[in-house]
Amino acid sequence: MKNNGSAENKFRSGYVAILGKPNVGKSTLVNFFLEEKLSIISEKPQTTRDAILGIFSDEQCQIIFVDTPGIHRPTTPLGRHMVSSAVKAGEDADELLIVVDAATGITAEDREIFSICKRAMQARAYLWTAMIINKIDCVAKPRLLPLMDACRGAVSCDDYIPVSALSGENCREVLALIRQKLPEGPLYFPPDQLTNKNERFIVAELVREQVLALCREEVPHAVAVEVTAFQDNPGRKTLIKATIYLERLSQKSIIIGEGGRMLKDIGSAARREIERFLGRGVYLELWVKVHKQWRKDEQFLRRLGYVPEI
């Protein structure tokens, strides 16, 4: 790589916050950028509980994506933490992406997020702000133009870009713009690191994702997963033990299922995802416990990594 000192050859790096209501496709977008399954994608809202960073590195730049949890009206400590970490992620970043869903159009929930974004934009001079209109694969072209106009009217950003995070349409263009607008900066993380979350946390999220995927409507917000053992055995499979916490006894029997079948299905699906993520063989042991008030138990939330230490 030549280095003649011109601006184009300086290393660029920075934080990009991605804000949007639950289910707009924030995690899918970051995953497309990283081509790696980092944030947990689910059809149910609020599966990404914390600002999981995805880190994109190459020779010229490092982009740290802050994939914020959905912003909603908080009623529990976990809810309050989700909102405050989303807002904080937005305020600390160099660039801001606001994601909306073309299929739903702009909703009241979007407007709440817009007002948080506007406040953040007043507090901070972002190097680039963009509204990403996602899921354009779901809408007919004639509906897109009025939607883009509505977006322009709602928040004033530098760019408004229709994309499909699922098919990848226009996503490379977004990535190119993100790179262009980054400031000069250092390598914040080792170039081979993809996330700041430790493997335990991601493994727990992968288990939780399968619980949500396989147990449909019964338990969306009532599940927490703690990895209690993570043992690498040279030459053998990694042993992972995880406990699934639920709020009610009735949920416990749903998750275990008839003759333990549901838990077995959750276990094998989760094991496949974990093996894919870790790139090695895994023995996964799952346990199920009831903890009635886990969402209100700050200490418990901290232990599971949902609340930052600071």
Considering the complex, what minimum distance in angstroms separates the CB of residue 113 from Mg ion? Answer: 14
- The residues binding ligand GDP (CB under 6 A) are 20, 22-28, 41-43, 48, 70, 134-135, 137-138, 164-166
Q: Is 46 in the site for Mg ion (CB under 5 A)?
A: no
137 binds, among ligand GDP, Mg ion, none (CB under 5 to 8 A by kind): ligand GDP
Angle at 238 between CA 234 and CA 242, to 5 degrees: 150
134 binds, among Mg ion, ligand GDP, none (CB under 5 to 8 A by kind): ligand GDP
The answer to whether the beta carbons of residues 25 and 174 sit under 8 Å apart is no
CA distance 169 to 203: 30
Considering the complex, what minimum distance in angstroms separates the CB of residue 168 from ligand GDP? Answer: 9
60 vs 196, which CB is nearer to Mg ion? Answer: 196
CA distance 274 to 288: 19
Considering the complex, what minimum distance in angstroms separates the CB of residue 91 from Mg ion? Answer: 19
Q: Which two tokens stand for residue 238?
A: 């990694």
CA distance 283 to 262: 18
Q: Is 68 in the site for Mg ion (CB under 5 A)?
A: no
Q: Is 48 in the site for Mg ion (CB under 5 A)?
A: yes
Residue of closest CB approach to ligand GDP: 25
CA neighbor of 94 nearest in space, from 24, 20, 12:
12
> Interacting stretch for Mg ion, rule CB under 5 A, among 45-53, 84-92, 206-214, 228-236?
45-53
138 vs 187, which CB is nearer to ligand GDP? Answer: 138
**Beta-carbon count within 10 A of 118 CB:** 14
Angle at 108 between CA 155 and CA 17, to 5 degrees: 50
Pairing, β 159-162 against β 128-134:
parallel
Helix axes 171-181, 26-34, angle to 10 degrees: 80
CA neighbor of 293 nearest in space, from 256, 251, 246:
246
13 vs 42, which CB is nearer to ligand GDP? Answer: 42
41 vs 288, which CB is nearer to ligand GDP? Answer: 41
251 binds, among ligand GDP, Mg ion, none (CB under 5 to 8 A by kind): none
User: Given the structure tokens 């160099």, which residue do they identify?
Assistant: 94
43 binds, among ligand GDP, Mg ion, none (CB under 5 to 8 A by kind): ligand GDP
Considering the complex, what minimum distance in angstroms separates the CB of residue 163 from ligand GDP? Answer: 7
**Site of interaction with Mg ion (CB under 5 A):** 26-27, 48
